[in-house]
């Protein structure tokens, strides 16, 4: 087994080590912590940001159940609007800090798959995530989507946990 430590480091390139950071956002307080940290990181270290919002379409069975009352097309439009609102918030924060930001909204049933695919497609070399997302109510799970991203990511993942409320 080759010892990874026997390979010398590349010489400093003068360019940031992490050039393009993927920041998934779901509008939760936890992802707001990651967004804020990513913008700060990008500003300090000269990186750019790809802000990703995953619009999760209504599952087909839910639409079928309520097909008399609900037009799934309208629902998906609302989902997309919410997702775009989230990503616009990150773009605005990045612009305020003078950080280049590419906003991205994708439709997917799996947030973690969308995150991993987007990181690959957009050549991101770092992913910023909160330690639990919208669904992660249990601290012990450390966020199931975050776990899936950590297990599947080809690039490093910066995990941030919101500070516990005082008192």
Partner 1 sequence: MMNAPLYHRILLPTDGSEASQRAILAGVEFARDIGADVVGLTATPAFHVVSTDPDMVGDTADQYADASRERGRRLLDDVERAAREAGVPCQLEQTVSDEPWQAIIETARRLGCDLIVMASHGRRGLSSLLLGSETQKVLVHSTIPVLVHR
What residue ranges bind partner 1 (CB under 8 A)?
Answer: 1, 3-5, 7-10, 12, 16-18, 37, 40-41, 43-46, 131, 139-140, 142, 146-147, 150-154, 156-161, 163-164
Whichever of 5 and 137 has its CB closer to partner 1, that residue is 5
**Local structure of 138: helix, strand or coil:** coil
Q: What is the smallest separation between the CB atom of 9 and partner 1, expressed in angstroms?
A: 5
Whichever of 68 and 163 has its CB closer to partner 1, that residue is 163
Q: What is the smallest separation between the CB atom of 13 and partner 1, expressed in angstroms?
A: 9
CA distance linking residue 35 with residue 151, whole number of Å = 21
Which of the 8 DSSP states describes residue 139?
Answer: G
Whichever of 163 and 167 has its CB closer to partner 1, that residue is 163
Q: What is the smallest separation between the CB atom of 121 and partner 1, expressed in angstroms?
A: 19
Whichever of 44 and 64 has its CB closer to partner 1, that residue is 44
Q: What is the smallest separation between the CB atom of 47 and partner 1, expressed in angstroms?
A: 10
Strand partners, 66: none
Dihedral class, residue 50 (left if φ above 0, else alpha if ψ from -120 to 50, else beta): beta
CA 82 to the chain's CA centroid? 15
Decide: residue 138, CB within 10 A, 0-12 exposed, 13-18 middle, 19+ buried: exposed
């Amino acid at each position: 087994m080759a010892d990874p430590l026997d390979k010398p480091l590349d010489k400093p390139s003068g360019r940031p080590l992490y050039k393009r950071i993927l920041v998934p956002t779901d509008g939760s307080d936890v992802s707001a912590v990651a967004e804020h940290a990513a913008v700060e990181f990008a500003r300090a270290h000269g990186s750019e940001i790809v802000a990703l919002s995953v619009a999760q379409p209504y599952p087909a069975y839910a639409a079928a159940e309520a097909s008399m009352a609900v037009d799934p097309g309208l629902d998906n439009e609302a989902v997309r609007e919410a997702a775009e609102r989230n990503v616009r918030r990150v773009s605005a924060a990045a612009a305020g800090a003078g950080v280049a930001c590419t906003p991205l909204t994708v439709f997917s049933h799996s947030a973690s798959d969308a995150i991993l695919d987007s990181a690959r497609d957009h050549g991101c070399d770092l992913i910023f995530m909160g330690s639990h997302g919208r669904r992660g109510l249990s601290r012990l799970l450390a966020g199931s989507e975050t776990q899936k991203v950590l297990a599947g990511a080809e690039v490093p993942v910066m995990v941030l946990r919101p500070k516990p409320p005082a008192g």
